[in-house]
Amino acid sequence: KRKSKTNNSSKMKKLRPDVDNNRTVFFKNVPFSVDNDQLKECAETMAGPVDYAVICLDPLTEHSKGTAFIRFKRKQIAEKVLNNECKLILLGKELQPHEFLKKEDLQEKHLQTKPFKDKRNLYLFKEGLIVAGTAAARGVSQADMNKRLLLEQQRTRSLRNLHKFLSTNRLVVYNLPFYNFDNKKLLLLFKKHSPKDAVINEARVMRNLKDLDENGLPKSKGYGFVSFQKHENALSALRAINNNPEIFRDKKRPIVLFSVEDKGVLLVKQKRQEKAKKQRTGDTSTDSKMNSEQSQSEPWQQVYSGNKFNKKQNKSRKTQINGNSKKSIPKFVGITGKPGVIKFPKKHKLQAQAITHKNNLKKELIRKKLFNKKQSRKQIRLKKNLNK
């Protein structure tokens, strides 16, 4: 035990921050495939002894940012590296040294620079999520909660790929009935719970073509897609249908989320549509070629339309997202997404949520049983009094 304590204390001493910031150096142009050990070996062989070398990772994707911090054991070595007297070359790339800045100085720089643009619409990840212990989680079955947590894990994994993003106009709907629920019923459901001026481009229930029912039709997979023309209408429909106990059943509520899209798949779809149009019309003019070239340069323009509005339209969109008051939003609605806030849930937190929700359901059952017992006792007493 004593040995383990001493080892832990020595590790903590090594990772203590440099008070004067004289020995730490910030590096750019670091190869993405390099790890901490390779970086440390390179610094020790080309410059001198090193305390530690840490590569900066993106918290969302868990990939290298191409930057790193190295703390040298001597101040003189750090000064030589900063003055380019001693160059570090790793995998054919020359590392670019910069002075180490404090958090306060970095925050000032960020305020002066342009604001962060969420090109992949990751702020919509939190829209519709239900956290255990909140008012929205009351009455949600354990099976539904487990399914929601599993979907969160799958979406976090897929969004670590930089080619994938969240659509602003397309929704995914889970927990659909397996029988007697087709595309028309899905369209009517969303028309009922969306604004009057809403335009729905697509309403599709996904089916298994290999598995057929008694009538010879493919069986439903239990989920579908609905795409709107405007983001505001999609958002209002999501908040009206998601986790609503009055639509299907209280124990099996609809799960509505913004769908995860792939840039490569959208590009392939657009090329197919262009080929089909050319075959129908038979146009081979220069105008059609120019249009095809523009579409290839921006193949996901329709999905990213929310980020390419004018300033006035952007302002109106933000007010539409954040303008809903607490009174207008019903209790069963979960977390509402805010532009600029991007955080993915971690696995251990999701597991803790599942446990807390299970315990809350047990407590609710006990309360209901006690309440029913009290009511039955009251009825028995009233009957006895009437008989007397």
> Checking phi first, is residue 227 left (phi over 0); if not, alpha (psi -120 to 50) or beta?
beta
Kindly tell me if the per-residue pLDDT of 352 is higher than 90.
Answer: no
Across 42-56, 148-162, 204-218, the highest mean pLDDT is recorded for 42-56
Place of tokens 């657009």: 270
Place of tokens 């038979």: 282
Encode burial over 357-377: b for 16+ CB neighbours within 10 A, e otherwise.
Answer: beebbeeeeeeeeeeeeeeee
**H-run or E-run covering 94:** strand 93-94
Kindly tell me if the per-residue pLDDT of 252 is higher than 80.
Answer: yes
Ranges 43-57, 65-79, 123-137: which has the least confidence: 123-137
Instruction: Return the pLDDT at 109.
Output: 61
Do the first three CATH levels of 24-101 and 122-276+330-367 match, i.e. the same topology?
yes
Tokens of 145: 């909660």
CB 127 within 8 A of CB 335: yes
For residues 233-257, average pLDDT = 88
**Domain-by-domain residue ranges, the chain?**
24-101, 122-276+330-367
Tokens of 92: 């054919």
How far lies 308's CA from each of 226, 228, 303, 314, 385, in Å? Answer: 22, 17, 10, 8, 74
Model-level pTM greater than 0.75? no
SS3 (DSSP) at 333: coil
288-313 pLDDT, tens per residue? 454 544 444 344 444 443 343 344 44
- In this predicted model, which residue has the larger pLDDT, 385 or 52? 52
The domain made up of 122-276+330-367 is a member of CATH 3.30.70.330? yes
At the topology level of CATH, where does 24-101 sit? Alpha-Beta Plaits (3.30.70)
How far lies 381's CA from each of 113, 362, 373, in Å? Answer: 74, 29, 12
